[in-house]
Chains A and B, each alone.
Chain A
Amino acid sequence: MEGRFATGKAWILDRGSGSGRGSGRTLEEAFDLESERLKAFIEDSPVPEVFSAHLEMLEDQLLRDTILRNVSGGMVPVDAVIAAEDEIMGLFLGIDDEYLRSRVDDVRDVCQGLIDCLEGASPNSYESLPPDAVVVAEELFPSDTAMMDLDKVKAFVTAKGSPTSHVRVIARSRGIPAVTGADISGIRSGDLLLVDEANGTVEVNPTEERLEAVRSMNRGVSVFPEEARRAVLDSGVKVLGNAGSIKEIEAVIGAGAEGIGLFRTEFLFLGSDNLPSEEEQYQIYKKAVEACQGRPLTIRTMDIGGDKTVPCLNLPKEDNPFLGMRGIRLSLSMPELFKEQIRAILRASALGKVRIMLPMVSRVSEVIQAKALVKECEASLEASGTAFGKNIEIGVMIETPAAAFVADLLACETDFFSVGTNDLTQYVMAADRGNASVSYLLDPLDDAMIQALRIVFKAAREKGVPAGVCGEAASEPKVAPVLCEMGADSLSLGSPALIGELKGSD
C-alpha cells in the first residue's frame, strides 16, 4: 500500500434500487435468508463480532415488532422495513454518545440486508470487482466490505459516512485509503480516480503530470502501520504534541493532541537583540495556555547552549558546547534571567494547567536549586499580590546518562520525567548527532539505550512518577510501541499529521 493516496478504476456499487421489483419472498423468508447470510459471515469474516451484533439486531424484538406493526397497518414489506428503520434511527439520533450513535449504522445495515432479500438484489455483484478497483458507493456497510475481495480494492469513496464509520475502520485496518463525504455524482464506472485521503479529495481522470506530481509529493511520507498504531493506542499512552511556537501549538492541539508535552522557549531568546522581559514572556505563555484549550501545557525552561547560541548573552565560546553550559546549567548560572522566566511561567499557570520542565539535568542538586528559585518567585508574586497557580508541577528531561543513572533520586524530587531520546542517544552512545559517519550508532533502541530506558522507567514506576517521551523516537513506528511497552505514559510528537493518525481523527 502506498499510504494515504491511491489511484484506480472506479467501480460503482449499484444496489439495484428496484422499488416495486419484488423477489416474491415473504417477510418471514427474508428474515430467514438474511439470518443465514449473517451466520455465513460469522463463519468467514475476520470481524465475526460485527456480524454477531447484526444477527442479534435482526432477531431483536423491537425491530421485528415495528416491521410487523407496519405491515399490519397496510404497508408492503419493503416499505415496512424502511419505515421501521427510520423509526429506530430516530431513537438513536438524539443520543449524545458517538459510540451508540454509530450503532445506527448496524441497524441500517441489517435493514438494507432485509430489503436486498425482499427485492432479490444480487449480492454476487462484488464478483465483478476488477483488480485496482476504487469502490464508489452512496454508503458502505460491514456486510459490503465482508463480501469484497479487499486485495482488489485500492481505495473507498463514499458519499455518506464519518471518520468513525465502519468503512473507515476497515480501510484503516487494511491500509486502504478512504474518502467519505465525497461528491460522487460526476463519477462514471471505469473512470480513473485519484483518491487522496489526507486531503479528502477525489480527482476524476487526472492528467499524467498531475499523477506524477502527487506520487513524488507522497514519497517519503511516514505512515504508522496499523499494527504499530494499535500497539500504541492499546497501551493507553497519552498522545501529546511538541511545539516551538504558538502556531505549532495550535496545529498539534487541532490535530487532537491531549496536551503539549514539550513547549520549547528558545525562540524567545534566539534571534532577538534583546532578552525578553518577564512581561513579554508572560504574554507569550498566556497565548500558549489559551491555545491549549484547557489541556496541559509543559513549558521547558530555556535550553540555550549546545547548538543554540544567544548573541546578546555574549557567552564565551566553548570547545565542546554539547558538553558545556547548556540548559539548566546555564539557567542556574544566571539566576536573575532564570527567575524572570519562572515568574512569567508561574503567572501563566494562573490561567490553566501548566508544568515546568527542566532541560539537561544531570544531578539532583540542580533540581533542588531550581525548585528553591521557583519557591522564591512564588513568594515574590505572593507578596506583590500577583495571581499564579499554586503547586505547579516541576519535572525533568532525562537526556543525560547521569540523569538516567540517578533516575530514582530524581524521581523523589520531581513530579514527572520526559525522556529526550535525541540527546540521550547521543550522550549514551557518545556519538555526535551532527556527524554523519557515526550516525549508525544513533539507534534509540540500541542495547545500551534499552538499558538506560529500563533504569528510567523502572525508577518512574517504583516512585509513581509519570514518565513520557518527547524525542523523535516517539514518532518512529518501530520504536513507539517498545517505549509504550516499557512503561511510557505519554508520547509527545511534533507532527500534527501523525497525531491525527494516532488519535484517529482527520
Chain B
Amino acid sequence: MIAKKTTIKAPEGLHARPAGELVKLAKSFPGTKTLISNGAREVSAASVLSILSLALKKGTEVEVKAEGPDEESAVNALAGFLDSLEG
C-alpha cells in the first residue's frame, strides 16, 4: 500500500469531467486497487459517483492510495493528475 497527499487546486473543485478522467486513469491499472480520501471518507478512485460524493472543493487536502502490482505508478499518476488541475 502506497499513499500520497495533494491539494485540490481547480477553482471549481473536482467536477464531473475531471472526476471521469481520474476514473479512467484509475482503471488503467487493472489489478491495482485505488482509493481516494478527503480525510473524512475514503472511496474507490474507480467510481465517478463515489468521487463526486466526496464534494472535493478547492483547497481540500486529499490522499490517494493504491495497493497491487502497479501501486507505485498508480499513486503517482493519480496524484500527478490532481496536481495538474488548475481550472
The interface of chain A, by Cβ under 8 A from chain B, is 53, 56-57, 60-63, 88, 91-92, 95-97, 99-100, 103, 107
**CB <8 Å contact, A61 and B53:** no
B57 contacts chain A at the CB level, 8 A cutoff: yes
B86 shortest CB reach to chain A, Å: 18
**B19-36, CB < 8 A from A:** 20, 23
B33 shortest CB reach to chain A, Å: 11
B44 contacts chain A at the CB level, 8 A cutoff: yes
A188 shortest CB reach to chain B, Å: 38
User: Please, which residues of chain A bring their CB within 8 A of the CB of B46?
Assistant: 61
What 8 A-B pairs are tightest by C-beta distance, nearest first?
A91-B53, A62-B47, A95-B55, A61-B47, A62-B49, A62-B50, A60-B49, A60-B47
23 A-B pairs whose Cβ atoms sit less than 8 Å apart in the complex? A56-B20, A56-B23, A57-B49, A61-B44, A61-B47, A62-B43, A62-B44, A62-B47, A62-B49, A62-B50, A88-B53, A91-B53, A92-B52, A92-B53, A95-B53, A99-B12, A99-B15, A100-B13, A100-B52, A100-B55, A103-B16, A103-B52, A107-B49
Q: Interface SS of chain A: helix, strand, loop or mixed?
A: helix
B3 contacts chain A at the CB level, 8 A cutoff: no
B32 shortest CB reach to chain A, Å: 14
B48 contacts chain A at the CB level, 8 A cutoff: yes
Residue of A56, A57, A97, A100 with highest tally of chain B CB at under 10 A: A100
Q: Which of A53, A57, A61, A97 contacts B13 (CB 8 A)?
A: A97
The interface of chain B, by Cβ under 8 A from chain A, is 12-13, 15-16, 20, 23, 43-44, 46-50, 52-53, 55, 57
B18 shortest CB reach to chain A, Å: 13
With A99-B15, A103-B16 as contacts: A57 and B48 at CB distance below 8 Å: yes
Known A57-B48, A91-B53, A97-B13; further 7 A-B contacts with Cβ < 8 A: A53-B16, A57-B49, A60-B48, A62-B44, A88-B49, A92-B52, A107-B49
A179 shortest CB reach to chain B, Å: 28
B3 shortest CB reach to chain A, Å: 21
Residue of A60, A63, A92 with highest tally of chain B CB at under 10 A: A60
**CB <8 Å contact, B57 and A97:** yes
Instruction: Tell me the bound Cα distance from A57 to B16 in angstroms.
Output: 10
User: Please, which residues of chain A bring their CB within 8 A of the CB of B43?
Assistant: 62
Instruction: Tell me the bound Cα distance from A380 to B52 in angstroms.
Output: 56
Instruction: Tell me the bound Cα distance from A175 to B57 in angstroms.
Output: 34
